[in-house]
Amino acid sequence: MSVHTILGAAVVQLHLALRDNTLWAAKSGSGTRPYVAVGHDAVEHIDAAIAELRRARAALVGELRADEDERAARLDAARARRGARVLTLDALGVEDLVETGAALHPLED
């Protein structure tokens, strides 16, 4: 289940809690249920919303950690490719132009 879906479920629970709390605050029951029972229902909806928010948090943290690992792997691969090119140039005998003032290619005069 996606983080977005889990957050949506939390919003639904909060909406239900708000509805029940409004009835509780007005000391008005809900059909055959007395206002005190509706007040307890509001608490249950709040607890359910908190549980959904915890699930959403855990899922999002997992996604963020996975993304961090993927980015690190991409950076490591890019560094390895860059390092491989430098080693290839060294293997060809190209010297550091700044240090030596040598020609661009070992065959140039």
Residue 52 lies in a domain: yes
Q: How far apart are CA 51 and CA 86, in angstroms?
A: 53
In a domain, 59, yes or no: yes
Q: How many domains does the chain have?
A: 1
pLDDT digits (tens, 9 = 90+) for 39-97: 999 999 999 999 999 999 999 999 999 999 999 899 888 888 887 655 555 566 666 55
Instruction: Report the SS3 class of residue 101.
Output: coil
- Supply the pTM of this predicted model: 0.66
Burial of 13 per CB tally in 10 Å (0-12, 13-18, 19+) = buried
> Please, are residues 53 and 11 in contact by the beta-carbon 8 Å criterion?
no
- Asked whether residue 105 is domain-assigned, the answer is no
Q: Give the pLDDT confidence score for residue 29 in this predicted structure.
A: 73
Q: Does residue 64 sit within a domain?
A: yes
| pLDDT at position 55 | 98
Res. 106: pLDDT tops 70: no
What pLDDT was estimated at residue 81? 82
* Whole-number pLDDT of residue 79: 84
Backbone angles phi, psi at 30, to 5 degrees: -120, 95
106 assigned to some structural domain: no
- The verdict on residue 57 lying in a domain is yes
18 domain-assigned: yes
Instruction: For residue 87, give its domain range.
Output: 3-93
Q: Note whether residue 74 is domain-resident.
A: yes
